[in-house]
Structure 1
């Protein structure tokens, strides 16, 4: 089968995709297009009883000066593996027939059919990423399974069984050897555009650009093994993403990185902000309240939970944690102290430790008035005496409570 090309003068000449070496008889890498198609055996003198006539045709053609046949250096004689040289444009059909019957067959009609159909697909669709179930009408009710043929070429290429010259021809027209790779590099292209808009690749998971859910895609890439199990390919992909954003996969949550990048941009010279104090709660970037986020980072408890690298970035923005609030006495210690003070006051006033359960004693401690349910305090202390510390029991025993001794 001949593939037409155009010369510098606009003439149509023939380009034959011939294997540089003689093809083996069992050529199994051409299947996957039309069902029932099979390769032809390489023609030899023994295959054609009309070899004498064939030789005369070759001699006649040589006399015309259009084609020449010579023995290939270091190979079999010219009678078995002649070479053709074209000096003038020839009819593709005639050349293909000559090669099939006199010299060498086209290396696979099925493969060349698939190649031509794929070229037509590329011209029509602008790409060579063919769906697995795609078919193409060839005419005369003949259908070619282009999707399965392309899938077969990928399998052969991956296993190293696809002939180099075929791989070169397919690569030249944009063959997508790995669908996964094609999806990744498309994601990289979209990620580059997203970075220009957001200043970070820590994007919202719901972000979709040109039909690509780039937010979720990058989230998947950050997961362990998300860039693939092949270490070489994974490293190549990682470097491609780092070339866009060195912090595309930080050691902290992507949500934190996204807010930090927004705050950093707001504080840049181009934005005109002078300090983090200028960014108040309610100031949003891409729907995120950056002001509230900055205020939250200065909380001592939040600051203490950050990694050193996170604190370093916040300090570069001019943020420092707020002073820690003074520690408060525990509720249990304060309640016991008030109960003891109320019991002392009640005993001094009444001369007894018998307190009605509903009695409430008012005491003043450090200038602050407290209303102590003294009856409940005594009942609870007696019930829980086994859990009271020795110091607390000593204080109660000093007041005259026998059960505390």
Structure 2
């Protein structure tokens, strides 16, 4: 149903009779529509035959899909699009600890955030963009790394409302969370300072 809704939204934005020109990155189509159409091309062979037929109704055939090129969007517009998906994800999940393979409405949000983190860590992400992401989630670029932060969020979910006065209290937790907490305790002094400061609220 989600695919069908996206298809209908894309179809509504296309000008009747307009040639899609997938080999040129779908010029002349709205940014979101062009990106969505390209995403369909990248997974075309895995689509249901009915979905393929619906795309053919738009003028996008199997041959067109093989020749499709990525949507070329100005950098500012590309960041704005990614930021919109980041906000929507955070509203639903409460954070930006997005797994790298994750997509939001077809948009490769996990990969986009990885790229922003890399730029930020190299000092190449403009301050205004960093602040925009921090406004969504102050821990969007966690000091201890994404995998650690994801594990922390899982542990926080399992420990909310519990008292963890001693390591014996860990035994009442799910095995994976208990094991992770034991590991953090044994290596506490080597953890990044900002990581341990953020974990105090657990």
The two structures have a TM-score, normalised by structure 1, of: 0.30
The C-alpha deviation readout for 1:171-203, integer Å capped at 9, x for no partner, is xxxxxxx53333322222221232234332122
Aligned to 2:81: 186
More strand by share: 1
Report whether the alignment pairs 1:292 with 2:179: yes
- CA-CA distance at 1:248 after TM superposition: 0.8
**Candidates 118, 121, 125, aligned match of 2:13:** 125
Aligned to 1:199: 94
Output the CA distance in 1 between the equivalents of 2:185 and 2:153.
17
Q: Larger relative contact order (C-alpha < 8 A, sep ≥ 6)? A: 2
What secondary structure does 2:119 align onto?
coil
- CA-CA distance at 1:254 after TM superposition: 1.2
Name the CA shift for 1:247/1:197 in 2 (closer, same or farther; >3 Å).
same
Output the CA distance in 2 between the equivalents of 1:188 and 1:131.
29
Name the CA shift for 1:126/1:223 in 2 (closer, same or farther; >3 Å).
same
Report whether the alignment pairs 1:241 with 2:133: yes
**RMSD of Structure 2 on Structure 1 (CA):** 3.8
Output the CA distance in 1 between the equivalents of 2:120 and 2:19.
27
Aligned to 2:145: 253
- CA-CA distance at 1:242 after TM superposition: 0.8
Structure 1 contact 220–226 (Cα < 8 Å) conserved: no
- CA-CA distance at 1:255 after TM superposition: 1.0
Alignment of 1:270-285 (within 5 A): 273-276=161-164, 277=169, 280-282=173-175
Report whether the alignment pairs 1:212 with 2:104: no
Report whether the alignment pairs 1:263 with 2:155: yes
Aligned to 1:307: 192
- CA-CA distance at 1:245 after TM superposition: 0.3
Q: List runs of 5+ in structure 2 lacking aligned partners.
A: 1-9, 29-72
Name the CA shift for 1:222/1:281 in 2 (closer, same or farther; >3 Å).
same
Structure 1 contact 222–249 (Cα < 8 Å) conserved: yes
Output the CA distance in 2 between the equivalents of 1:291 and 1:310.
18
Structure 1 contact 200–258 (Cα < 8 Å) conserved: no
Output the CA distance in 2 between the equivalents of 1:131 and 1:295.
59
- CA-CA distance at 1:308 after TM superposition: 2.1
Name the CA shift for 1:316/1:297 in 2 (closer, same or farther; >3 Å).
same
Instruction: Find the structure with the greater CA-based Rg.
Output: 1
Alignment of 1:103-142 (within 5 A): 125=13, 133=21
- CA-CA distance at 1:256 after TM superposition: 1.0
Q: List runs of 5+ in structure 1 lacking aligned partners.
A: 1-121, 135-145, 149-177, 283-288, 318-405
Name the CA shift for 1:220/1:196 in 2 (closer, same or farther; >3 Å).
same
Alignment of 1:154-173 (within 5 A): none
More helix by share: 2
Alignment of 1:301-380 (within 5 A): 302-317=187-202
Q: How many pairs were matched up?
A: 141
The C-alpha deviation readout for 1:365-387, integer Å capped at 9, x for no partner, is xxxxxxxxxxxxxxxxxxxxxxx
